[in-house]
């Protein structure tokens, strides 16, 4: 039975500053239907009786049947009450804000653009308690909204963290004897708890564009990159995610990704859903009919992974693209999508977990193993003490930094392989753990990345296929700041960088651009942006999915914490992580079902899904997954 109920949740949410906060003041919203979470079923429903407003009450996070509806304006309501009720109505689950527009004067109904942007405040916007008549118009009132802004979402659905004071004015006039809003800012302004209830982070997917390296064999044309956006999760969610995909990548990723959809492609129908077999049939405008079969498959792959991210509970069986008349253009099955376009690189086997044990050996473990095993090759013997290690994504090659941080070695993980001479020697003194070379990192193209750091700056370097001459990568946004650690994404076009500046270490995300000429590319990391701005001392970070990182750090005056963060700087909706003491480093797999590994006070510890931390060994360091 399909039931709806219209009551708002006022659940506890974790704020961007780590505190547990309650939702804003109680407000009145309409209730309809019956509570699916409270009743096993409804044998009958009353067809009479009035619908009454109720105060908001706490609801569980899993209560997916909650629906929120605004209350129309009451006769004789005063300006501040009109503004407050209008703000309540904008938090409703109405697709067109029909109730909210009832609070607007006739002129404002024609001009207000609610979807232009969304401003997110720490708490609900507060009308100032004492209002004065408008000096320009004795029959008008100006009500000022104030609050503390934490983020915004633009027309392209991109989330941008931004902390600053918020202050905007709303003007009201009397229309037919009732106060109505005639001037107001475009867009919505929401408290954080409302935003988290109404919106959901969804990954849209685009193909990586390697520009001057695009013709090299290693640069596959089928590398999908997750581009997170925020969408209203109860208003035609599948249609909304496809429309967001067709609108193109966000500005930050636009220079390094492309879409297979021909320019101007739009949906030919605005009602998308999965059929009884969990297949998705999508009718597209005439532009899509021009695509050849290979391009059509790539379009279907983008749709498959985007919609799959929105409908996580249901596995899509296939995607069929159709022209505007309903004729089939191409079909992509689940098996084909996962095999040919899977965002997580497929190595043909389950990647292991690695770390350096007390005997200076690089060892490996499977998820179910209780004892680590030394790897094959020179790094498994213990005769080459290392500070850090990185395993290639194919698990055939290891890169290790010597214990003093001066030298980088690369060796095959095969019996009889030799360590050889250093591939790179640090230019810095290497006196402390934070000097010399950072831990290396492999991208999914087989290239090796590392930074050489000293007290006066840092150099970011790349070695093609882990064996070429080091190529310096420009980081124009770094300035005089110092790189402490790096972790490159599998796609090779996003890189997480721990940056130290005046004693504060922050996590930044950079975009790798490849310019220059074919065969002679010039790489640079552009537009560094903060990922966890509330943390002023970040210790470690690791990629934990297509658009997610696990981050270890502490807020000002706070204790160390571990949390998931999205690449756009928003807090992840993933589960809260249990605490663990004294974490020095952390490793996560881009396969989100794999356990976390950390170097903590208890030793090397592992966090399986839906479990607690367990100690693997009491002595060890530098845990990593391939990458």
pLDDT tens digits, one per residue of 418-436: 999 999 999 775 566 678 9
Q: What is the SS3 assignment for 252?
A: helix
In this predicted structure, what is the pLDDT of residue 44? 32
At 430, phi and psi to the nearest 5? 65, 40
In this predicted structure, what is the pLDDT of residue 572? 83
In this predicted structure, what is the pLDDT of residue 129? 56
pLDDT for 33 beyond 70: no
pLDDT band at 31; cut points 50, 70, 90: very low
pLDDT band at 533; cut points 50, 70, 90: confident
Contact present, 617 and 357 (Cβ < 8 Å) = yes
Chain-centre distance for alpha carbon 436: 31
pLDDT for 12 beyond 80: no
In DSSP terms, which residues pair with 224 in a beta bridge? 207
DSSP assignment letter at 457? E
In this predicted structure, what is the pLDDT of residue 137? 59
Of 158, 140, 160, residue with least CA distance to 150? 160
* Cα(144)–Cα(134) distance, integer angstroms: 12
Tokens for 86?
A: 């209008």
Taking the CA atoms of 300, 306, 311 and 312 in sequence, report the sign of the dihedral they define.
Answer: positive
Taking the CA atoms of 180, 182, 183 and 185 in sequence, report the sign of the dihedral they define.
Answer: positive
Name which of 24-38, 441-455, 469-483 the model is least confident about: 24-38
**Exposure on the CB side of residue 295, measured as CA atoms within 13 A:** 12
Tokens for 164?
A: 């600053």
Burial (CB count <10 Å: 0-12, 13-18, 19+), residue 160: middle
pLDDT band at 134; cut points 50, 70, 90: low
Chain-centre distance for alpha carbon 311: 16
pLDDT for 45 beyond 80: no
pLDDT for 58 beyond 60: no
DSSP assignment letter at 197? H
* Cα(420)–Cα(140) distance, integer angstroms: 81
- The pLDDT tens digits for 150-195 are 999 998 899 999 999 999 999 999 999 999 999 999 999 999 999 9
Q: What is the mean pLDDT of residues 134-157?
A: 85
* Cα(204)–Cα(308) distance, integer angstroms: 10
- The pLDDT tens digits for 311-335 are 987 899 999 999 999 999 999 999 9
Q: What is the mean pLDDT of residues 455-474?
A: 90
pLDDT band at 219; cut points 50, 70, 90: confident
Taking the CA atoms of 244, 247, 250 and 255 in sequence, report the sign of the dihedral they define.
Answer: positive
Tokens for 539?
A: 């210790």
DSSP assignment letter at 110? H
* Cα(93)–Cα(236) distance, integer angstroms: 11
Quick one: CA torsion of 439, 443, 448, 452, rounded to 10 degrees?
Answer: -40
SS (H, E, C) 611-622: CCCEEEECCEEE
pLDDT for 27 beyond 50: no
Burial 506-517 (b: 16+ CB within 10 A, else e): bbbbbbbbbeee
Query: pTM for this structure?
Result: 0.86
Report all structural domains of the chain as residue ranges with CATH numbers, in order of start. 210-222+237-306+313-341 (no CATH), 354-624 (2.120.10.30)
- The pLDDT tens digits for 584-613 are 999 999 888 899 999 999 999 999 888 899
pLDDT for 57 beyond 90: no
Q: pLDDT averaged over the chain?
A: 86
Q: What percent of the chain has pLDDT over 90?
A: 72
Q: What percent of the chain has pLDDT over 70?
A: 85
In this predicted structure, what is the pLDDT of residue 575? 73
Phi-psi region of 379 (alpha: psi -120 to 50; beta: other; left: phi over 0): alpha
Contact present, 586 and 550 (Cβ < 8 Å) = yes
* Cα(140)–Cα(169) distance, integer angstroms: 13
* Cα(560)–Cα(423) distance, integer angstroms: 36
């Amino acid at each position: 039975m399909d039931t709806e109920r219209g009551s708002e949740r006022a659940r506890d949410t974790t704020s961007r500053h780590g505190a547990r906060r309650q939702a804003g003041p109680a407000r009145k919203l309409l209730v309809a239907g019956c509570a699916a979470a409270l009743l096993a079923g409804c044998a009958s429903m009353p067809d009479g009786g009035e619908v009454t407003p109720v105060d908001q009450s706490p609801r569980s996070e899993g209560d997916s049947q909650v629906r929120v509806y605004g209350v129309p304006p009451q006769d004789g309501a005063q300006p501040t009450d009109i503004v407050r009720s209008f703000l309540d109505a904008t938090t409703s689950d109405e697709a067109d804000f029909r109730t909210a527009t009832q609070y607007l004067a006739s002129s404002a109904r024609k001009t207000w653009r609610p979807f232009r942007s969304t401003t997110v405040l720490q708490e609900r916007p507060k009308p100032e308690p004492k209002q004065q008549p408008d000096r320009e118009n004795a029959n008008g009132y100006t009500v000022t909204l104030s609050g503390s802004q934490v983020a915004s979402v633009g027309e392209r659905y991109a989330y941008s963290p931004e902390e600053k004071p918020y202050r905007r004015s709303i003007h009201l006039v009397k229309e037919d004897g009732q106060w109505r809003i005639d001037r107001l800012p475009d867009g919505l302004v929401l408290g954080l708890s409302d935003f988290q209830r109404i919106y959901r982070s969804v990954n849209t997917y685009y193909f990586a564009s390697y520009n001057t390296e695009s013709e090299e064999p290693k640069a596959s044309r089928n590398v999908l990159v997750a581009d997170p956006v925020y969408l209203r999760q109860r208003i035609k969610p599948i249609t909304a995610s496809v429309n967001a995909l067709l609108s193109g990548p966000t500005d930050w990723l636009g220079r390094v990704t492309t879409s297979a959809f021909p320019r101007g492609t739009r949906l030919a129908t605005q009602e998308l859903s999965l059929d009884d077999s969990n297949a998705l049939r999508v009718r597209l405008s005439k532009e899509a009919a021009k695509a050849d079969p290979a391009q059509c498959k790539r379009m279907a792959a983008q749709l498959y992974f985007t919609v799959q991210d929105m409908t996580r509970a249901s596995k899509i069986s296939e995607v069929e693209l159709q022209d505007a008349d309903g004729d089939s253009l191409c079909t992509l099955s689940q098996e084909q999508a996962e095999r040919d376009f899977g965002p997580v690189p497929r190595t043909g086997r389950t990647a292991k977990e690695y770390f350096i044990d007390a005997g200076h050996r690089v060892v490996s473990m499977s998820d179910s193993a209780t004892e680590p095993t030394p790897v094959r090759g020179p790094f498994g013997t213990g005769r080459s003490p290392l500070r850090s290690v990185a395993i290639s994504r194919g698990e055939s090659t290891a890169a290790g930094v010597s214990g003093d941080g001066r030298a980088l070695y690369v060796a095959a993980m095969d019996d009889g392989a030799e360590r050889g001479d250093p591939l790179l020697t640090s230019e810095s003194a290497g006196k402390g753990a934070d000097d010399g070379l950072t831990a290396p990192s492999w991208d999914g193209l087989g290239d090796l990345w590392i930074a050489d750091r000293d007290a006066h700056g840092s150099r970011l370097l790349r070695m093609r296929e882990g064996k070429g001459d080091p190529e310096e990568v420009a980081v124009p946004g770094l300035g005089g700041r110092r790189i402490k650690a790096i972790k490159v994404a599998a796609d090779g076009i996003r890189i997480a960088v721990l940056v130290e500046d005046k004693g504060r270490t922050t996590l930044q995300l950079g975009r790798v651009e490849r310019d220059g000429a074919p065969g002679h590319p010039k790489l640079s990391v552009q537009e560094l942006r903060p990922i966890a701005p509330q943390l002023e001392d970040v210790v470690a970070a690791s990629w934990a999915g297509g658009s997610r990182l696990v981050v270890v750090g502490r807020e000002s005056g706070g204790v160390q914490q571990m949390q998931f963060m999205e690449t756009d700087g928003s807090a992840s909706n993933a589960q809260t992580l249990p605490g663990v003491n004294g974490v020095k480093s952390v490793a996560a797999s881009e396969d989100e079902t794999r356990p976390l590994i950390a170097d903590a006070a208890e030793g090397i510890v592992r966090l399986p899904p839906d479990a607690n931390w367990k100690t693997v060994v009491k002595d060890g360091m530098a845990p990593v997954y391939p990458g």
